[in-house]
Amino acid sequence: MSTDANPALPEPIAAPGRWRPSAVRLIVIYGAFFLLWSIVLVGSISWQTTQFLDKVVGEILEQRVHYLATVDRSQLPAMLAATNQLDLRGVMYFGLFDARGAYVSGNIDRLPEGLTPDGSIRPLPKGLKAIDGQLNARALGVALRLESDDVLVLARTTSVADRIGAIMRSALFWALSLLLIPGLIGGYLLSRGPLRRVRDIEAAVAPIMRGNLGARLPLSSRRDELDLLATIVNRMLDEVERLLGEVKGVTDSIAHDLRTPLTRLRAQLHRVQQANDPDDPRAAAIERCIVDVDALLDRFRALLRISELEDLRRHAGFAEVDLGETLRRVHELYAPLAEEKGVALDVSADSLPLVSADAPLLFEALSNLVDNAIKFTPAHGTIELRARGQLAGTRIDVLDSGPGVPLGEREAVLRRFYRSRTTGDGGGDGGGYGLGLALVAAIAKLHGFCFEIGDNAGGGARMTLYCWPCSSAGARSA
Amino acid sequence: MARILTVEDDALTAREIVAELQIYGHQVECVGDGVEALRRARSGAYDAITLDRMLPGLDGLGVVTELRREGVDTPVLMISALSDVDARVRGLRAGGDDYLTKPFAPDEMAARVEVLLRRRRAGERETLLRVENLELDLIARVARRDDAVLELLPIEFRLLEFLMRNSNQVLTRTMIFESVWGYHFDPGTNVIDVHIARLRRKVDGGSSPSLIHTVRGCGYRIGAGK
């Protein structure tokens, strides 16, 4: 039951900004996959459509070139001109070149590059130059050597296929915009609900971490995953509470059962001491034994007292109490002890309204606080007992100029047997922070008051008892 | 020598009580049940009674209630395993004069019985307490030693009054705290020792012989001699 047996307090939860809700993450991943798949799908449709349209264009060109090849050579320029007239959309190109490749007729004035006069359809990636100087982007062409040794060239731009591709890409863009934007907004809104509930759970966990093992996580009527998780945690807390209760019960039983033999042991030692000559060297050893047994008995008594207070639910001993007067009586009891230690103990109390409380228990709680303050305040230090009226009720502060209680230990010092690492062991009298503050917390809880450990403005500890009904009755740390 | 009735059903505890009271030179009778205790105590022939709270037949509360109803005012020390405040209040309200929780140190029990015996002998009516050359005037609220007035704080006056009312008796720290301050918990550290030390400086400072004595492993005593 030493200090070392107490595990360190859990680290506080990191800043809220660092938390990313899982719904947002899932929506982002889903959105990325959706985007990728849509691009692949539309790309594939666009490619197949282009291929099909190119094939159709190629067939048209093949038909035309073979038809024109059958036309009489002398009538061919006129025929080409007539056909050109019919091509209102300007997608068809014709050209008749002689055996040397010189221009004879048509709207192309030179043989396009990469076109051999074998009658097969070829793409013209570099486009072709029309007489009017217009450069078409992409086209398919065919060249055929006629019987007259002239070369007939037919070409057609593929702008229709390209435009269909553009329409599909634009459709894809709009479809994605319409799907992704509401998706992301919806995802954000969806994620806020669970996050809010997680925050509620975090708030509910705070008193449990402070040691109120009777508190449970909130459940909604939705019966969703969070409720399932909260139910599991609540069940776990039931078990933890039961086990801790058992441990406390066993500790109490040990304390209770050991008190009788220890009391007998002390009585026997006392008799031996009385029967012996005080100058006998063994007398000092017996005296030390008695002191040790007394320390053990004190410890057990305090332990059982805390259990008794923790189990006390009734307010039978409550009466109207003058807190200022109580504080002055505590001061009267401890002033000589403080003086002996060279510590200034001051008391200041306003004229305060009476408070419904158990006067002896409040006196006991305040005595423990002052006893602790004297113990931990070095010589020439100061301790101030202060009772002030506030809007909600009376607040009692015990302010000392000792080393203070480190932030991380303010919850732990309220546990039974915890001893602050920085303030030493607090002496071997069974008091110290070991049980004194646990007792104060138990008395505060019994009254429904809040007990808070904080910093004294001038350095040192501030132990505050808020003497009015408090929602988180018992202990809290500032 | 006083005649004391011990009512206790646990044989071991009863033996301890009897042995301790006999050390103080008292004549002790022991009974184990409430009905027999009531029968014997009715006679009013005892100077004090130690009464266990839980007894077969009639319990301790019943015994003391009945005794008081019948007008028997023998001082009663209630001894109980019930330590909570309510049990103490009930015990004292029923007519008990003092309340001691189990387990107890036998010397503490004996010291409490001595206080009850003294109170019975002296009554509460004294207005001037005297121990050797130390004088406490309860009306004028003045303490004198060798006719020199001692400057005492109110709490020191109350402490000295309790010591002097029970002069030459061993008083434990718990008894002092309970009687002078009126609270029933362990005040911890050496609060009482420091109060006694202060009082001693004022009472015994410069004067001899010293009157306030420390009884090793037990408590304090005011009176002449070692």
Residue-wise pLDDT for A382-422, tens only, equals 999 999 988 888 999 999 998 888 887 787 788 776 766 55
pLDDT for the residue numbered B40: 92
Going by pLDDT thresholds of 50, 70 and 90, the confidence category of residue B97 is very high
pLDDT for the residue numbered B76: 94
Q: Do B30 and B77 fall within a single domain?
A: yes
Do B188 and A431 make contact, defined as CB atoms within 8 angstroms? yes
Q: Do B118 and B190 fall within a single domain?
A: no
Q: What is the CATH number of the domain that holds B21?
A: 3.40.50.2300
Do A430 and B181 make contact, defined as CB atoms within 8 angstroms? no
pLDDT for the residue numbered A1: 33
The answer to whether A414 and A438 are in contact (CB under 8 A) is yes
pLDDT for the residue numbered B121: 77
Q: Residue A426: pLDDT above 60?
A: no
User: Cβ contacts (< 8 Å) between B185 and chain A: which residues?
Assistant: 305, 360, 364, 367
Instruction: Give the burial class of B207: count Cβ atoms within 10 A of its Cβ; 0-12 exposed, 13-18 middle, 19 or more buried.
Output: middle
Going by pLDDT thresholds of 50, 70 and 90, the confidence category of residue A212 is confident
Q: Give me the residue from B186, B197, B216 closest to A298, CB to CB.
A: B186
Q: How far B103 CA sits from the closest chain A CA (Å)?
A: 5
Instruction: Give the burial class of B40: count Cβ atoms within 10 A of its Cβ; 0-12 exposed, 13-18 middle, 19 or more buried.
Output: middle
Instruction: State which of B88, B122, B156 marks the end of a domain.
Output: B122
The answer to whether A385 and A371 are in contact (CB under 8 A) is no
Going by pLDDT thresholds of 50, 70 and 90, the confidence category of residue B29 is very high
- If we measure between CA atoms, which residue out of A358, A439, A355 comes closest to residue A395? A355
Write out the residue range of the structural domain in which residue B151 sits: 128-222
Radius of gyration over every alpha carbon of chain B, rounded to an integer in angstroms: 18
pLDDT for the residue numbered A168: 83
Between residues B214 and A138, the one the model is more confident about: B214
pLDDT for the residue numbered A193: 79
Q: How far A203 CA sits from the closest chain B CA (Å)?
A: 36
Q: Do B110 and B136 fall within a single domain?
A: no
Between chain A and chain B, how many beta carbons pairs sit less than 8 Å apart?
82
Mean pLDDT confidence for A146-167: 83
Q: Residue A431: pLDDT above 50?
A: no
Q: Which of A289, A299, A337, A371 to mutate to test the interface with B (most CBs of B within 10 A)?
A: A337
Mean pLDDT confidence for B28-54: 91
- If we measure between CA atoms, which residue out of B197, B106, B118, B74 comes closest to residue A341? B197
Going by pLDDT thresholds of 50, 70 and 90, the confidence category of residue A19 is low
Residues of A with CB under 8 A from a CB of B: 259-260, 262-264, 266-267, 269-270, 273, 278, 287, 290, 298, 301-302, 304-305, 308, 312, 316-317, 329, 332-334, 336-337, 340, 360, 363-364, 367-368, 371, 374-375, 427, 429-431, 436
Q: Residue A455: pLDDT above 60?
A: yes
Going by pLDDT thresholds of 50, 70 and 90, the confidence category of residue A6 is very low
Q: Residue A473: pLDDT above 80?
A: no
User: Cβ contacts (< 8 Å) between A302 and chain B: which residues?
Assistant: 186
Q: Which of A262, A364, A377 to mutate to test the interface with B (most CBs of B within 10 A)?
A: A364
The answer to whether the peptide bond before residue B209 is cis (omega within 30 degrees of 0) is yes
Do A333 and B85 make contact, defined as CB atoms within 8 angstroms? no
Whether the complex's predicted ipTM surpasses the cut of 0.90: no
User: Cβ contacts (< 8 Å) between B191 and chain A: which residues?
Assistant: 333-334, 336-337, 371
CA distance A266 to A282: 16
Q: A262 Cβ partners below 8 Å, 6+ apart?
A: A293, A296, A297, A300, B103
Going by pLDDT thresholds of 50, 70 and 90, the confidence category of residue B18 is very high
- First vs last C-alpha separation in chain B: 22
pTM (2 d.p.): 0.64
Q: Residue B90: pLDDT above 60?
A: yes
pLDDT for the residue numbered A133: 66
Q: Do B69 and B99 fall within a single domain?
A: yes
CA distance A215 to B107: 46
Do B107 and A367 make contact, defined as CB atoms within 8 angstroms? no
Strands B98-101 and B76-80: parallel
Q: Do B118 and B133 fall within a single domain?
A: no
The answer to whether A381 and A401 are in contact (CB under 8 A) is yes
Q: Which domains does chain A have, with CATH numbers?
A: 1-200 (3.30.450), 225-311 (1.10.287), 319-477 (3.30.565.10)
Of all residues in chain B, the one with the smallest CA distance to A258 is: B103
Going by pLDDT thresholds of 50, 70 and 90, the confidence category of residue B123 is low
User: Cβ contacts (< 8 Å) between A336 and chain B: which residues?
Assistant: 191, 194-195, 197-198
pLDDT for the residue numbered B195: 95
Residue type for position B158:
R
Going by pLDDT thresholds of 50, 70 and 90, the confidence category of residue A235 is very high
pLDDT for the residue numbered A422: 52
- Mean pLDDT computed over every residue of chain A: 81
Instruction: State which of B122, B140, B162 marks the end of a domain.
Output: B122
Q: How far A276 CA sits from the closest chain B CA (Å)?
A: 12
Q: Give me the residue from B186, B190, B197 closest to A302, CB to CB.
A: B186
Q: Residue A39: pLDDT above 90?
A: no
Q: Do B33 and B93 fall within a single domain?
A: yes
Q: Do B39 and B88 fall within a single domain?
A: yes
Q: Do B45 and B116 fall within a single domain?
A: yes
Do A263 and B218 make contact, defined as CB atoms within 8 angstroms? no
Q: What is the CATH number of the domain that holds B182?
A: 1.10.10.10
Mean pLDDT confidence for A131-137: 65
Backbone torsions φ then ψ of B110, nearest 5 degrees: -65, -40
Is residue B109 classed as helix, strand or coil in its secondary structure?
Answer: helix
Q: Residue B23: pLDDT above 70?
A: yes
Q: Which of B82, B174, B185, B198 to mutate to test the interface with A (most CBs of A within 10 A)?
A: B185
Instruction: State which of B71, B90, B122 marks the end of a domain.
Output: B122
Do A267 and B106 make contact, defined as CB atoms within 8 angstroms? yes
Going by pLDDT thresholds of 50, 70 and 90, the confidence category of residue A312 is low
User: Cβ contacts (< 8 Å) between B102 and chain A: which residues?
Assistant: 260
Q: Do B82 and B151 fall within a single domain?
A: no
pLDDT for the residue numbered A342: 94
User: Cβ contacts (< 8 Å) between A269 and chain B: which residues?
Assistant: 217
Handedness of CA A207, A210, A215, A220 (dihedral sign): positive
pLDDT for the residue numbered A8: 39
Residues of B with CB under 8 A from a CB of A: 16, 83-86, 89, 102-107, 155, 181, 183-191, 194-195, 197-198, 216-218
Q: Residue A238: pLDDT above 90?
A: yes
Q: Which of A253, A272, A274 to mutate to test the interface with B (most CBs of B within 10 A)?
A: A274
Q: Do B112 and B145 fall within a single domain?
A: no
The two structure tokens encoding residue A262: 């220890």
Of the listed ranges A112-116, A456-460, A472-476, the least confidently predicted one is A472-476
CA distance B160 to B179: 12
pLDDT in tens, A334-372: 999 999 999 999 999 888 889 888 888 899 999 999 998
Q: How far B195 CA sits from the closest chain A CA (Å)?
A: 6
Q: Can you say how many angstroms the Cα of residue A299 is from the centroid of all Cα atoms in its chain?
A: 42
pLDDT in tens, A47-91: 898 888 888 888 988 888 888 888 888 888 888 888 777 776 667
Q: Residue B168: pLDDT above 70?
A: yes
Structural domains in chain B (count): 2
Between residues B76 and A182, the one the model is more confident about: B76
Provide, rounded to the nearest whole percent, the portion of chain B with pLDDT above 90. 46
Q: Residue B214: pLDDT above 70?
A: yes
What are the start-end ranges of the H helices in chain B? 11-23, 34-41, 60-69, 85-93, 106-122, 154-165, 173-176, 191-204
User: Cβ contacts (< 8 Å) between A312 and chain B: which residues?
Assistant: 84
Q: Do B101 and B133 fall within a single domain?
A: no
- If we measure between CA atoms, which residue out of B73, B82, B86 comes closest to residue B104? B82
The answer to whether B80 and B101 are in contact (CB under 8 A) is yes
Q: Do B117 and B200 fall within a single domain?
A: no
User: Cβ contacts (< 8 Å) between A260 and chain B: which residues?
Assistant: 102-103
User: Cβ contacts (< 8 Å) between B106 and chain A: which residues?
Assistant: 267, 270
User: Cβ contacts (< 8 Å) between B86 and chain A: which residues?
Assistant: 316-317
